[in-house]
Amino acid sequence: MNTKSFVGKLNQITKALFSMTPAQREKVHQSIQALDAEISTDELIQPLFDVSSQCPHCHSRHLKKWGKSGAIQRYRCKDCQKTFNNKTNTPLAKLHKSHLWEEYARCMVLKLTLREAADICGINLKTAFLWRHRFLMAQAGKNQDKLSGIIEVDEFFLARSEKGSKTLAHQKKPRKRGGNLDKRTKEGQVAVLLSIDRSNHMINAILPADSKAEIAVHLTENITENSVLCSDGSWSYVEIAKQKNCDHKRLINNQVRVIDKVYHIQTVNGAIAHFKGWVNGKMKGVATKYLSNYLAWFKESHAKLDKQQILVAAYG
């Protein structure tokens, strides 16, 4: 087909698309997606390894191919003589049934429970639990986003949980669904920092202590200078705003909720309510030792990562 003929047909298709209803265009979109060849997990991961291929044991770049294990390429390091594949020493190492990982990642996009994901993928419940935390391990505790423009920030508290532990380290008697916890004090609670800008970039962090110093450690480096910082009445953010040369809008509880019809912390408070409702509702509470993983999952969901992007993030 010559160029003139191709352009003519392309123009006809474009006009036809413009004349369709949104539902009809969505049907065409789904048909095109169905024609696209599915990319296997190994084909997705291999380019990530090729970008900075090195020995996972000694970090040498002097490698050579060393046969295959099934369809997976193995390598041997010329320096330390050890063999490996593209997943060695990554969170995905030694996990089996890689042909099911993409389907499991789709379950994570939908934020399904372990039992729901296990049933859909046809795997054991323990396997579903292992995959969930392996897929989240690489991103847990990482805050690579830079916040700019109008930035909202707030802290919230969750009851310390040792869910699943056979012995309790922090409390003498088990609590049932948070009972007997005095919410007026911080004892027995874990502080979490959450911040979002109006471009939907998010950072979150578990604070060892709810103090100005800890907040500064996790927030200062992620704020762009000359932004607008919106916070509650806490004095912890005043010094941070000065340090980053930010205009600081303090929203005092029950006194000021919105400033100039633009500045508020309703977006971040909505995200906090969503997170707490999710982990305490659908997930029936999460153990504190896994909380950073669930915060990473929440951030991936907020960024609307698809199943392949989740696998790329899991690879680390």
Average of per-residue pLDDT values in the chain = 88
Q: Tell the burial category of 82 from Cβ atoms under 10 Å away from its Cβ (0-12, 13-18, 19+).
A: middle
* Res. 1: pLDDT tops 60: no
Rounded distance between C-alpha atoms, residue 15 and residue 20, angstroms: 9
- DSSP secondary structure string, 113-129? -HHHHHHHHT--HHHHH
Q: Lowest-pLDDT range, 52-56, 89-93, 97-101, 171-175?
A: 171-175
- Paired strand residues for 190: 158
Average pLDDT of the segment spanning 24-46: 72
Rounded distance between C-alpha atoms, residue 273 and residue 269, angstroms: 6
Average pLDDT of the segment spanning 107-131: 96
Q: Residue 126's CB: how many other CB atoms inside 10 A?
A: 10
In tens, the pLDDT along 146-168 reads 999 999 999 999 988 888 877 77
What is the distance between the terminal CA atoms of the chain, rounded to a whole angstrom?
44
By three-state DSSP, how is residue 184 classified?
coil
What is the rounded radius of gyration, in angstroms, for the C-alpha atoms of the chain?
24
pLDDT of 228: 96
Q: Do the bridges between strand 247-250 and strand 228-231 make them parallel or antiparallel, or are there none, so unpaired?
A: parallel
Closest by CA to 128, choosing from 109, 154, 108, 144, is 108
Q: Lowest-pLDDT range, 122-131, 164-173, 268-277?
A: 164-173
Most confident of 16-20, 48-52, 70-74, 290-294: 290-294
pLDDT of 303: 93
* Res. 175: pLDDT tops 70: no
Predicted TM-score (pTM) of the model is 0.82
Task: Please give the backbone phi and psi of residue 249, each rounded to the nearest 5 degrees, phi first.
Answer: -110, 115
The answer to whether residues 127 and 118 touch, using CB atoms and an 8 Å cutoff, is yes
Structure confidence at residue 34 as a pLDDT band (50, 70, 90): low
How far CA 46 is from CA of 83, 261, 313, in Å, comes to: 16, 49, 14
DSSP 221: G
Percent of the chain with pLDDT over 90: 66
* Res. 96: pLDDT tops 60: yes
Rounded distance between C-alpha atoms, residue 200 and residue 214, angstroms: 23
Rounded distance between C-alpha atoms, residue 46 and residue 85, angstroms: 10
Q: Lowest-pLDDT range, 115-129, 175-189, 230-244, 302-316?
A: 175-189
* Res. 35: pLDDT tops 60: no
How wide is the angle at C-alpha 62 spanned by C-alphas 90 and 138, nearest 5°? Answer: 15
Rounded distance between C-alpha atoms, residue 73 and residue 46, angstroms: 9
In tens, the pLDDT along 272-283 reads 999 999 999 999
Structure confidence at residue 82 as a pLDDT band (50, 70, 90): very high
pLDDT of 2: 59
Long-range Cβ contact pairs of 120-128 (< 8 A, separation 24 or more): 123/97, 127/97, 128/104
Structure confidence at residue 6 as a pLDDT band (50, 70, 90): low
**H-helix or E-strand containing 43?**
helix 41-51
The answer to whether residues 240 and 223 touch, using CB atoms and an 8 Å cutoff, is yes
Task: Please give the backbone phi and psi of residue 190, each rounded to the nearest 5 degrees, phi first.
Answer: -110, 130
CA 195 distance to own-chain centroid? 14
